[in-house]
C-alpha cells in the first residue's frame, strides 16, 4: 500500500490552506497513494492561539469537514486530516466554545468519517525565548482510536491515531501495538527547536519498539506569525528504516508499505511477545 505524508506550511488563511491541501492531495492520488495524511493544524496556523477558535466546527458538519469528505470521494482516497478544531458536545448551542478539541479525522474513499481521535497530550514548552501552552485553547481528549483500512493489496491494516506531542508518550503507542495495530499515524507541527532535538529519534523509536510502520506528516517552514516548524515528514518501517522524508516546505512524502515485511520483522524479532511488564 502506498502511503503519503503531506507536508505543509499553513498560514492564517483557511481558504489558502485548503487550496494548498487540495493540491497536495491531488499529487498524492496521482502518484498512487491509497492513504494520505495531512499535518497537524493543516487548516490554520494563526498568529495567536485563539485564532483557531474562529474556525471551530461541530463534529459531522462544517466547511472543513465537507472539504475533506469531498476530496476523499473525488480522489477515491483515504484521508486522515491532520487536525482541525472541533467544538465540544457540551458547548452552548450558539456561539464559539472557548476551548476546542484538536481532532484528527479519518475519511474513507466514499467520504465517510470512520474515526475521530482527539489529541490526548497537550503541548507546553517555555525556554525563555519561545513559549507554547495548548491548554489555553484546547481541551484534552481521553481515548486512543484506531480504524481498519482494507487496501488494494488484500491486507487489512489496523491504523492507530495520534497527534504531535503524543509522540513523547510511549505508552499510547504500546497500547496500540497490544491491540494489533500495523501503522501509526503522527500528524504534527513540531517546533523547530524541539524537532531539531528530538523528532527523528522519537518517530523511529515508536516504529522500532512497536514493530509498526509510522507515517509522520508535519508542518515544515516559517509561518506568517514567525513560528518555525521543523518539518522532516517521514515514513518509517518497523525496523526503524526511513523509507522517505522531506526536510522543509510543502510536498508529498510517498512510499510503499509492505505487509509481508511487517510480518517478517515481527517473526524474526518477536519483541512484542517478550514483554513482561
* pLDDT for the residue 93: 72
Q: Is 22 a catalytic residue?
A: no
Active-site choice (52, 57, 119, 212): 119
The SS3 assignment for 26 reads helix
Catalytic residue of the set 40, 43, 134, 265: 40
Give the whole-angstrom CA distance, residue 114 versus residue 196: 34
Question: Of 34, 52, 57, 164, which is the active-site residue?
Answer: 164
Distance from C-alpha of 163 to C-alpha of 79, rounded to nearest angstrom: 15
What average pLDDT does range 246-269 have in this prediction?
A: 97
What pLDDT, on a 0 to 100 scale, did the predictor assign at position 254?
98
- To the query of whether residue 119 is one of the catalytic residues in this protein, the response is yes
Judge whether 164 counts as a catalytic residue.
yes
What confidence tier does 94 reach under pLDDT thresholds 50, 70, 90?
A: low
Domain count, the chain: 1
pLDDT band for position 267 (50/70/90)? Answer: very high
Query: What confidence category does residue 91 fall into, taking pLDDT thresholds of 50, 70 and 90?
Result: confident
Mean pLDDT of the chain: 97
Residue 168 pLDDT > 90: yes
Phi then psi dihedrals of residue 193, to 5 deg: -65, -50
Over pLDDT 90: what percentage of the chain? Answer: 96
Task: List, for residues 185-220, the tens digit of each pLDDT value.
Answer: 999 999 999 999 999 999 999 999 999 999 999 999
pTM: 0.97
Domain CATH code at residue 139: 3.60.110.10
Question: Which residues span the domain enclosing 169?
Answer: 2-274
pLDDT digits (tens, 9 = 90+) for 119-158: 999 999 999 999 999 999 999 999 999 999 999 999 999 9
pLDDT of residue 99 exceeding 70: yes
**Interval 3-18 mean pLDDT:** 98
Would you list the DSSP string of 111-160? S-EEEEEE--SPPEEE-SS-EEEGGGTEE------EEEEE-TTS-EEEEE
Averaged pLDDT, 159-182: 98
Sequence-distant (≥ 6) Cβ neighbours of residue 218 within 8 angstroms: 5, 7, 39, 40, 187, 188, 189, 190, 195, 199, 229, 230, 231, 232, 233, 234
Contact of 95 with 110, CB cutoff 8 Å: no
Check whether 90 has a pLDDT greater than 90: no
Amino acid at each position: 500500500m502506498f502511503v503519503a505524508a503531506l507536508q505543509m506550511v499553513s498560514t492564517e488563511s483557511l481558504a489558502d490552506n485548503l487550496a494548498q491541501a487540495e493540491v497536495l492531495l491531488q499529487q498524492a492520488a496521482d502518484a498512487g497513494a491509497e492513504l494520505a495524511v495531512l499535518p497537524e493544524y493543516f487548516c490554520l496556523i494563526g498568529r495567536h492561539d485563539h485564532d483557531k477558535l474562529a474556525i471551530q466546527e461541530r463534529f459531522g458538519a462544517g466547511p472543513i469537514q465537507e472539504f475533506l469528505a469531498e476530496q476523499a470521494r473525488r480522489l477515491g482516497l483515504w484521508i486522515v486530516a491532520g487536525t482541525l478544531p472541533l467544538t465540544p458536545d457540551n458547548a452552548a448551542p450558539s456561539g464559539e466554545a472557548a476551548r476546542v478539541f484538536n481532532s484528527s479525522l479519518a475519511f474513507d474513499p466514499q467520504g465517510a468519517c470512520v474515526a475521530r481521535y482527539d489529541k490526548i497530550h497537550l503541548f507546553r514548552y517555555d525556554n525563555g525565548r519561545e513559549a507554547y501552552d495548548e491548554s489555553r485553547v484546547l481541551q484534552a481528549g481521553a481515548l486512543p482510536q484506531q480504524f481498519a483500512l482494507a487496501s488494494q493489496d488484500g491486507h487489512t491494516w489496523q491504523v492507530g491515531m495520534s497527534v504531535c506531542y503524543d509522540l513523547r508518550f510511549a505508552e499510547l503507542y504500546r497500547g496500540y501495538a497490544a491491540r494489533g495495530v500495523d501503522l501509526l499515524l503522527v500528524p504534527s507541527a513540531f517546533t523547530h527547536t524541539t524537532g531539531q532535538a528530538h523528532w527523528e529519534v522519537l518517530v523511529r523509536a515508536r516504529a522500532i519498539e512497536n514493530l509498526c510502520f509510522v507515517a509522520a506528516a508535519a508542518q515544515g517552514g516559517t509561518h506568517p506569525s514567525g513560528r518555525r516548524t521543523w518539518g522532516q515528514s517521514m515514513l518509517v518501517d518497523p525496523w526503524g528504516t526511513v523509507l522517505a522524508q522531506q526536510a522543509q516546505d510543502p510536498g508529498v512524502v510517498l512510499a510503499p508499505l509492505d505487509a509481508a515485511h511487517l510480518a517478517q520483522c515481527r517473526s524474526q524479532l518477536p519483541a512484542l511477545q517478550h514483554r513482561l511488564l
